[in-house]
A and B are shown apart, each in its own frame.
Chain A
Amino acid sequence: MSTISSKVPHGPLADKWSKYKEHIDLVNPANKRNIDIIVVGTGLAGGSAAATLAELGYNVKSFCYQDSPRRAHSIAAQGGINASKNYQGDGDSNYRLFYDTVKGGDYRSREANVHRLAEVSGNIIDQCVAQGVPFARDYGGLLDNRSFGGVLVSRTFYAKGQTGQQLLLGAYSAMNRQIARGKITMHNRHEMLDVVKVEGKARGIIARNLITGEIERHSAHAVVIASGGYGNVYFLSTNAMGSNTTAAWKIHKKGAYFANPCYTQIHPTCIPRSGDYQSKLTLMSESLRNDGRIWVPKNLDDVKAIREGRKKPLDLTEDQRDYYLERRYPAFGNLVPRDVASRAAKERCDAGYGVNATGEAVYLDFATSFERYGKEQAKIHNISNPSEAKIMELGQEIVKAKYGNLFQMYEKIVDENPYKTPMMIYPAVHYTMGGVWVDYNLMTTIPGCYAIGEANFSDHGANRLGASALMQGLADGYFVLPYTIGDYLADDIRTGKISTDGPEFEAAEKDVTNRIELFINNEGTHSVDYYHKKLGKIMWDKCGMSRNAEGLKTAIIEITALREDFWQNVNVPGTATEYNEQLAKAGRVADFLELGELFAKDALVREESAGGHFREEYQTEDGEAKRDDKNFAYVAAWEYRGKPSEAVLHKEELVFEDIELKTRSYK
């Protein structure tokens, strides 16, 4: 086992980034015109990076598998984006945002990266407003904020329940400006299938045109991976159907270390599963926990009656309900961080208190908020002695203004009116904190290959706080990578165009074609989805919200066997030279089948509970996660050696200079 260096600059935490920026090597504008950069993915990180790099003068080639960069899955983020603007005057600061993020991540993130994130957070909001992002405003015309789980200030900016959409469309518009100027060449409906290394450096990619099936070579002086997370290893998640780990996994196999794959976020407020045909899960923004109270019945008799339809949730009086988050965590109540809220729901449902037919659902109830807002509104509008009904009506209007689209979405999917009866929710896989290992410059262990946004591991430790993903994606793309990449490219100003005719491109292309032919000629018996679903079930049962050594060992055996079966018996119809979704999917699932094993291995090695990684063997008496800072305050960075079982662990020790490691308590 060796240790690796994160290249964090020396000096006081708060000055690191500004000092570093001042001394970084720059590429002069004339030389930038001779440098090409490939960006894979057009979500918040990839889109903002492509636009900014193009604006700086580099020639950017962007790739996305969707039919337009505007469809990347960042678009589905609902709740908001954090920034330490302290517009509310409630005591927020860069330090507090930094502190909350490190604590929320259960002390498993890199201090210097997180502080930098907090420092640039305010700038993101300025940038987005300048681009015309229609953030919510108050009646005075100023920007409005809401609060999110795990923090005690209001620092979340939002655009209704569509914040991700609006930020992404902002980045998309910045890209469009550069596409129009000819500085970005956009490759829609293209999938990266390998990275090409020349003399050890990332110099290009092999991509497949998803419409024609053509295999293409693209060269560049640097390659940026912004392809998102690997949540779809679970089959069911809140990710888009096409979200995949292929780009990240390919660079891993070519030398990029993969960090902390076991850190996965299971989001507490999703719409419960309804049956086996389910293809994906839908998130309900965490912001709902600001106004909703989570409960299950106190008595199992009531649970039974509800499941059988003999009772309705509204029939239960206050003292027949168990508001278990408020009971267990009086200080934070319904606003505890995501991992804590998810596990608490699982604990209640495992104990038999789940309120729907599958036994996997808890209530999220807005009645208290309807009443509170209603009374407030009655006062504001001078209505004396308002009736119950009037109060409810007034209160519901306020809630509707805040979360109207979420309530509507819920009703469309579940066919129940959440203004009349409490919502049902259950945790679902949502985000992956683990990802490609990067240093302070966001460069992977392959020189010239970078990873940004959810694709890297860097800022969220073992658990991500709400509204921080959008912040990190845009911070990486707009404000961090454009600086740090210059430091590397400064050496490339005389390199000239990279040819795609070399043996390295030839070899990589051959590998890609061979694999595709294997799929097409296999003529197996089972569909790609058959394997994906099986993998998902292993992952959810044994590497899900809680894990133990025995289960993880079994998972490794099962995944290995499933992978072998897959390569023998998968059936991919059609040909390689046409639009073929099954073929594209087969490649993605093949990569998930490898990643899943590394995931389980990482979870097995980490003999502690931290954030989203909960090992049953390591918990306190009252069931809270027990960290082991003495032995596990490190980033686990895995090096690929031929197959996942042979992966070699490298440790990046986490040094905490500014924060004292404490047991995370939200009581």
Chain B
Amino acid sequence: MNLTLKIWRQKGPQDKGGIVDYKVSDISEHMSFLEMMDVLNEQLVNKGEEPVAFDHDCREGICGMCSMYINGEAHGPNRGITTCQLHMRTFKNGDTIYIEPFRANAFPVIKDLVVDRSSFDRIQQAGGYISVNTSGNTQDANSLPISKENADLAMDAAACIGCGACVATCKNASAMLFVSAKVSQFSLLPQGQVEATDRVMGMVKQMDEEGFGNCTNTGACEVECPKGISLDNIARMNREYFSASAKG
């Protein structure tokens, strides 16, 4: 198929940036979206032009690196997948496709479609861990039974890949879904109880400092999240937060 691509180009953080039009032809429906981008870039390199910079690594939906805002949706039109899992069969011959970076104040653009998501790392550093030494002097793993139900729920929350689609989608650029996924994982497990108060307070404080917006419960994040992280996690985090605040 033949397509028109309208791609956000921006030389660097200071550059204003803008949409540039490109044409690609002979795109197979079996290609992945990023393979289509490879075709475009190969074309640009051969013409002596600069290829479009975009983040990607695993190309199998697990590393969380790919991050394109396609036709107005984070990770594109399909549900439950990342940009790298989107295939060209979703599009038709002659389509025009808009490709932009994940936008948010807390995700400044580095170049073209590449953004800086280190704010996510800093939130994790503010409490997204259990303070256990890695010395090997831990108790036997089976000495602490955990109900299958809670273990499964913790796993569902832990499936977050830190891509930032929730933020890019949210009209307030809130990071609540991302933060609540980590808080939930630990709050569902007995290992996480000891530091529960500090964790939720620390992570929420850092989230605010990074300039993410407030959550107004519109739920768009859940819809676009490639890993099906549920809004229940936000509710769980809010409970944790209120009880932590009450403790002062």
Q: Interface of A with B (CB < 8 Å)?
A: 48, 51-52, 55, 66-71, 73, 75-76, 85, 87, 120, 123, 125-132, 134-143, 159-160, 162, 165-166, 169, 172-174, 176-177, 179-180, 186, 188, 211, 240-242, 274-275, 277-280, 282-283, 408-409, 412-413, 415, 478-479, 527, 529, 571, 573-574, 578-579, 581-582
Q: Are A240 and B151 in contact (CB under 8 A)?
A: no
For the complex of A and B, 7 pairs with smallest distance between CB atoms: A141-B145, A173-B129, A134-B155, A134-B154, A129-B141, A130-B138, A71-B63
Q: How many residues of B contact A (CB 8 A)?
A: 78
Contact residue among B59, B138, B139, B142 (Cβ-Cβ distance under 8 Å from A240): B59
Query: Taking beta carbons and an 8 Å cutoff, which residues of B are in contact with A?
Result: 11-12, 28, 30-32, 34-35, 38-39, 42, 44-46, 48-51, 53, 55-65, 80-81, 85, 87, 89, 110-111, 114, 116-118, 120-121, 124-126, 128-136, 138-142, 144-148, 151-152, 154-155, 158-159, 161-162, 185-186, 189, 191-192
Q: Is the CB of B30 within 8 A of A130?
A: no
Residues A76 and B134 in contact in the complex (CB < 8 Å), given A130-B139, A166-B158:
no
Q: Is the CB of A527 within 8 A of B141?
A: no
On whether the beta carbons of A75 and B132 are closer than 8 Å, the reply is: no
Q: Is the CB of A240 within 8 A of B12?
A: no
Question: B144 to A240, Cβ gap below 8 A?
Answer: no
Give 6 A-B contacts (CB < 8 Å), ordered by A residue. Answer: A131-B191, A135-B151, A169-B158, A174-B134, A177-B131, A241-B56
Closest B residue to A73 by CB, please name it. Answer: B58
Q: Which residues of chain A are within 8 angstroms of B154 by Cβ–Cβ distance?
A: 132, 134
Number of A-B residue pairs, CB cutoff 8 Å, is 213
Using Cβ atoms and an 8 Å threshold, which residues of chain A touch B11? Answer: 578
* Chain B binding surface SS class: loop
Instruction: Determine which of B80, B138, B145 lies in contact with A126 in the assembled complex, contact meaning CB atoms within 8 Å.
Output: B138
Closest-by-CB residue of B relative to A127 is B138
Q: Quick one: which of B28, B80, B89 contacts A415, CB cutoff 8 A? A: B89
Partner of B125, one of A136, A176, A188, A242: A176
Which residue of B has the minimal Cβ distance to A414? Answer: B30
When chains A and B are docked, how far (Å) is the Cα of A415 from the Cα of B192? 40
Task: State which of A48, A51, A134, A165 has its C-beta within 8 Å of the C-beta of B151.
Answer: A134
- Do A241 and B189 touch across chains, with their CB atoms under 8 A apart? no
Min CB–CB distance A53 → chain B (angstroms): 10
- Neighbouring B residues of A87 by C-beta, 8 Å: 142
Contact A573 B31 (CB under 8 A): no
Q: A159-B155, A581-B51 are in contact. Are A409 and B125 (CB under 8 A)?
A: no
**Given A125-B141, A134-B189, A412-B85: A180 touches B35 (CB 8 Å cut-off):** no
Q: A173-B130, A578-B12, A581-B53 are in contact. Are A141 and B146 (CB under 8 A)?
A: yes
Of the candidates B46, B50, B59, B85, which one forms a contact with A574 in the assembled complex, judged by CB atoms under 8 Å apart?
B50
Contacts A68-B162, A282-B60 given: A188-B85 contact, CB under 8 Å? no
Q: Are A415's CB and B138's CB within 8 A?
A: no
Q: Are A131 and B141 in contact, with the CB atoms below 8 A? A: no
Give the nearest-CB partner of B34 in chain A: A279
Question: Shortest CB–CB separation between residue B132 and chain A, in angstroms?
Answer: 4
Complex Cα–Cα for A409 and B32 (A): 13
15 more A-B residue pairs beyond the given contacts A131-B132, A529-B42, A573-B50, with a C-beta to C-beta distance below 8 A: A66-B63, A129-B191, A132-B189, A141-B148, A159-B158, A166-B155, A176-B128, A180-B126, A186-B121, A274-B30, A279-B38, A413-B87, A573-B45, A579-B12, A579-B111
Contact B61 A409 (CB under 8 A): yes
| Closest CB in chain B relative to A224 CB, distance in Å | 15
State how many angstroms separate the Cβ of B65 from the closest Cβ of chain A: 5
Name which of B48, B116, B128 has the most chain A CB atoms within 10 A of its CB: B128
A68 touches B118 (CB 8 A): yes
Task: Write the chain B residue with the least CB distance to A283.
Answer: B60
Nearest Cβ in chain A — how far from B78, in angstroms? 8
Check A174–B32 contact: CB distance below 8 A.
Answer: no
Q: Which residues of A contact B64 (CB under 8 A)?
A: 70-71
Min CB gap A537→B, angstroms: 16
| B28 pairs with A277, CB closer than 8 A | yes
Identify A275's interface contact among B31, B129, B144, B159, CB under 8 A: B31
Residues of B within 8 A of A51 (CB): 134
B162 surroundings in chain A (CB, below 8 A): 68, 70
Residues on A with beta carbons closer than 8 Å to the beta carbon of B89: 415
User: Which chain B residue has the least Cβ–Cβ distance from A181?
Assistant: B125
Contact A129 B144 (CB under 8 A): yes
Contact A582 B45 (CB under 8 A): yes
Query: What CA separation (Å) do A304 and B173 show in the bound complex?
Result: 54
CB-based contact B63/A527 at 8 Å: no
B191 & A275 in contact (Cβ 8 Å cutoff): no
User: Is the CB–CB distance between B65 and A67 below 8 Å?
Assistant: yes
A127 to B136, CA, bound (A): 6
A27 to chain B, nearest CB (A): 15
Q: Is the CB of B81 within 8 A of A277?
A: no
Chain B residues positioned under 8 Å from A582 (CB to CB):
45, 51
Nearest CB of B to A238, in Å: 8
Bound together, the chains give a CA A241 to CA B44 distance in angstroms of 19
Residues of A within 8 A of B132 (CB): 127, 130-131
Give bound CA distance, A180 to B55, whole Å.
26
Please determine whether A188 and B189 come into contact, CB atoms closer than 8 angstroms: no
> Which residues of A lie under 8 Å from residue B138 when comparing CB positions?
123, 126-127, 129-130
Contact among B49, B62, B135 with A573 in the assembled complex (CB-CB below 8 Å): B49
A76 to B61, CA, bound (A): 9
Are the CB atoms of B32 and A279 closer together than 8 Å?
A: yes
Q: Is the CB of A76 within 8 A of B60?
A: yes
B51 near A573 with CB under 8 A, answer yes
Task: Find B35's partner among A242, A279, A408 (CB 8 Å cutoff).
Answer: A279
- List the B residue with the shortest CB-CB distance to A177: B129
Q: How far is the CA of A479 from the CA of B137 in the complex (A)?
A: 11
* CB neighbours of B42 from chain A (8 A): 527, 529
Bound-state CA distance A138–B158 (Å) is: 18
- Name the distance in Å between A115's Cβ and chain B's nearest Cβ: 17
Q: Which of B57, B64, B121 has the most CB of A within 10 A?
A: B57
Alpha-carbon separation in the docked complex, A342 to B80 (Å) = 31
Partner of B85 from the list A66, A165, A275, A413 (CB cut-off 8 Å) is A413
Q: Whole-angstrom distance between the alpha carbons of A578 and B185 in the complex?
A: 38
Cα distance A240–B139 in the bound complex, in angstroms: 35
Q: How far is the CB of A189 from chain B (nearest CB, A)?
A: 9
- CB atoms of B189 and A75 under 8 A apart: no
Given known A180-B125, A579-B114, A582-B51, contact A71–B130 (CB-CB < 8 A):
no
Bound Cα distance A159, B156 (Å): 10
Question: In the complex the two chains form, what is the Cα distance from A169 to B63 in whole Å?
Answer: 11
Per a CB cutoff under 8 Å, which of B85, B126, B131, B141 touches A85?
Answer: B141
Task: Please report the C-alpha to C-alpha distance between residue A501 and residue B63 in the assembled complex, in whole angstroms.
Answer: 37
Complex-state Cα separation, A270 to B55, whole angstroms: 24
| Chain B positions within 8 Å of A70 at CB level | 64, 121, 124, 162
List B contacts of A172 (CB < 8 A).
124
Nearest-neighbour CB distance to chain A for B50, whole angstroms, equals 5
* Contacting pair B185 A134 (CB below 8 A): yes
Cα of A404 to Cα of B39 in the assembled complex, Å:
32
The answer to whether B57 and A277 have CB atoms under 8 Å apart is no
Chain A nearest CB, measured from B103 CB (Å): 16
Across the two chains, which residue of chain B brings its CB closest to A78?
Answer: B62
Taking a contact as CB atoms closer than 8 A, the residue among B53, B118, B126, B142 that contacts A188 in the complex is B118
B128 touches A415 (CB 8 A): no
CB-CB under 8 A from A479, the residues of chain B are 136
A173-B155 contact given A71-B65, A73-B57, CB 8 Å threshold: no
Given contacts A241-B59, A527-B46, contact A126 B141 (CB under 8 A): yes
- Specify which chain B residues have a CB less than 8 angstroms from the CB of A48 in the assembled complex: 134
The answer, among A67, A120, A135, A173, for a CB contact under 8 Å with B128, is: A173
Q: Which residues of A contact B55 (CB under 8 A)?
A: 67
Given contacts A68-B118, A129-B191, contact A136 B151 (CB under 8 A): yes
B159 to chain A minimum Cβ distance, whole angstroms, is: 6
Chain B residue with the shortest CB-CB distance to A123? B136
Find the A residue at minimum CB distance from B59.
A280
Contact call A76/B51, Cβ cutoff below 8 A: no
CA distance A615 to B98 in the complex (A): 50
Residues on B with C-beta less than 8 A from A211 are: 110-111
